[in-house]
């Protein structure tokens, strides 16, 4: 009997060990995962955090692309303080995050230097940067890049709308335009040194936030019915060719599209509802906030004019012509909307 009891006891012990082994096996991946996390925690060396006015800042970019970690930050407040608890920000940075700064919007102030500073710092409008007209080495920063500046207003480009929330605003001191005797807008040129300042500023911003060429725009691109800045004198082509900034079309594509029909044919069909619809759709596809209807209206003319300011500055009459059409097609080919 005792022997029998011993056997039962033994088998119970063995089976409970097996059970435990099973349990351990079952949870092994979890244990291993925990170990990996611990290992990463040990090897992850965070950038130093500085404290100022009781808020904590990273001064350096803390992103680590090798770890698919996009936790990049430039001097922003990075953590909350919970009284009695420890907010730990270095253990588990999430991959699913990105920059607020998706666009750069370029403006002119249409005011002199002094008035530009006054309006952009003391009124209800602002921009992150102001490029003066003094010919010196300075560029003024008016708003922290991580904070919102009020420069864009109501606008639209591809899927985006709230440009104060998702862009960096650059204002350039420039007189804007005057109307000539025929009511045509005549714009002020930008001095060479001012263009160089804007180019270097853009280059740095675009690099740090990985802003694509399609997202470097003029105010008139996102708000064509309200705005003309930075106007046709702003050298978008030069920025593209010399600094690899922003968009420009391929000349060969332009001529290929121009040769698909002659000017006479184009003139005959340019006001037909199907072609107007096609043109409006192409503008919308490229990014402009326009709804295809099949008929031209004043708002559409302003969109075409804004397009010409940016991509065909030699003639910005707002009238659809074969060259404007070919440039638009070439741009849609080179920069297809995703």
Point out the catalytic residue in the list 171, 233, 241, 291. Answer: 171
Contact 214, 159 (CB under 8 A): no
CB-nearer residue toward Zn ion: 101 or 228: 228
We find the least distance from the C-beta atom of residue 179 to Zn ion, in angstroms, to be 19
We find the least distance from the C-beta atom of residue 128 to Zn ion, in angstroms, to be 13
CB-nearer residue toward Zn ion: 197 or 219: 219
Single out the residue of 146, 193, 140 nearest to residue 170, CA to CA: 140
Contact 330, 253 (CB under 8 A): yes
CB-nearer residue toward Zn ion: 106 or 322: 106
Q: Which two tokens stand for residue 296?
A: 């031209």
We find the least distance from the C-beta atom of residue 132 to Zn ion, in angstroms, to be 16
Q: What would the DSSP string read from start to end of 8-63? A: HHHHHHHHHHHHHHHHHHHHHHHHHHHHHHHHHHHH--PPPEEEETTEEEE-S---
Written in H, E and C, the secondary structure of 79-140 is: CCCCCCCCCCCCCCCCCCCCCCCCEEEEEECCCCHHHHHHHHHHCCCCCCEEECCCCCCCCE
52 strand-pairing partners? 55
End-to-end CA distance of the chain: 80
91 to 130: interface string for Zn ion, x by CB under 5 A: ----------------x-----------------------
Q: Which two tokens stand for residue 199?
A: 């180019």
Site size for Zn ion, by CB under 5 A? 3
Q: Please, which residues have CB within 8 angstroms of residue 237's CB and are 6 or more apart in sequence?
A: 248
Give the C-alpha separation, 110 to 230, whole Å: 9
CB-nearer residue toward Zn ion: 63 or 169: 169
Give the C-alpha separation, 257 to 326, whole Å: 5
Tell me, yes or no, if 291 is annotated catalytic.
no
CB-nearer residue toward Zn ion: 73 or 228: 228
Q: Please, which residues have CB within 8 angstroms of residue 177's CB and are 6 or more apart in sequence?
A: 110, 185, 186, 187, 188, 228, 231
CB-nearer residue toward Zn ion: 145 or 229: 229
Give the C-alpha separation, 201 to 106, whole Å: 11
We find the least distance from the C-beta atom of residue 152 to Zn ion, in angstroms, to be 8
Out of 221, 229, 305, 323, the residue judged to bind Zn ion by CB under 5 A: 229
175 to 214: interface string for Zn ion, x by CB under 5 A: ----------------------------------------
10 to 29: interface string for Zn ion, x by CB under 5 A: --------------------
We find the least distance from the C-beta atom of residue 162 to Zn ion, in angstroms, to be 16
CB-nearer residue toward Zn ion: 72 or 130: 130
Out of 128, 197, 219, 254, the residue judged to bind Zn ion by CB under 5 A: 219
* Site stretch for Zn ion (CB under 5 A), options 49-57, 78-86, 224-232, 308-316: 224-232
251 to 270: interface string for Zn ion, x by CB under 5 A: --------------------
We find the least distance from the C-beta atom of residue 53 to Zn ion, in angstroms, to be 32
We find the least distance from the C-beta atom of residue 219 to Zn ion, in angstroms, to be 3
Q: What is the largest CA-CA distance in the chain?
A: 121
* Site stretch for Zn ion (CB under 5 A), options 29-37, 222-230, 288-296, 298-306: 222-230
* Site stretch for Zn ion (CB under 5 A), options 192-200, 229-237, 240-248, 265-273: 229-237
Q: Residue 310, interface with Zn ion (CB under 5 A)? A: no
- Kindly list the distances between the CA atom of residue 302 and the CA atoms of 27, 106, 219, in Å, as whole numbers in the listed order: 65, 18, 13
Active site residue ranges: 171
Interface contacts to Zn ion, rule CB under 5 A: 107, 219, 229
């Amino acid at each position: 009997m005792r022997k029998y009891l011993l056997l039962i006891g033994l088998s119970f012990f063995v089976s409970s060990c097996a059970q435990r082994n099973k349990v351990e096996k079952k949870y092994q991946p979890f244990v291993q995962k925990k170990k990996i996390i611990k290992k990463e925690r040990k090897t992850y060396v965070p950038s130093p955090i500085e404290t100022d006015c009781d808020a904590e800042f990273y001064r350096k970019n803390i992103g680590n692309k090798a770890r698919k970690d996009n936790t990049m930050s430039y001097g922003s407040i990075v953590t909350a303080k919970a009284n009695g608890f420890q907010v730990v920000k270095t253990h588990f940075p999430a991959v699913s995050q990105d920059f607020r700064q998706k666009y750069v919007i370029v403006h002119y102030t249409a005011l002199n230097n002094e008035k530009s500073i006054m309006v952009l710092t003391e009124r209800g409008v602002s921009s992150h940067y102001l490029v003066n007209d003094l010919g010196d080495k300075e560029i003024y920063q008016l708003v922290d890049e991580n904070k919102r500046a009020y420069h864009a207003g109501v606008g639209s480009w591809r899927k985006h709308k709230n440009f104060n929330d998702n862009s960096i605003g650059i204002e350039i001191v420039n007189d804007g335009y005057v109307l000539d005797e025929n009511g045509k807008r005549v714009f002020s040129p930008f001095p060479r040194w001012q263009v160089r300042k804007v180019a270097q500023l853009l280059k740095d911003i675009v690099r740090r936030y990985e802003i694509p060429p399609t997202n470097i725009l003029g105010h008139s691109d996102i708000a064509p019915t309200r705005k003309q800045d930075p106007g046709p004198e702003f050298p978008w082509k030069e920025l593209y060719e010399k600094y690899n900034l922003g968009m420009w079309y391929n000349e060969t594509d332009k001529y290929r599209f121009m040769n698909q029909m002659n000017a006479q044919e184009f003139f005959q069909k340019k006001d037909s509802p199907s072609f107007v619809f096609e043109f409006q759709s192409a503008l919308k596809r490229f990014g402009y906030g326009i709804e295809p209807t099949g008929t031209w209206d004043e708002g559409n003319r302003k969109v075409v004019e804004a397009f010409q300011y940016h991509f065909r500055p030699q003639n910005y009459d707002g009238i659809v012509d074969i060259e404007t059409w070919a440039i638009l097609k070439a741009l849609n080919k080179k920069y297809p909307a995703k």
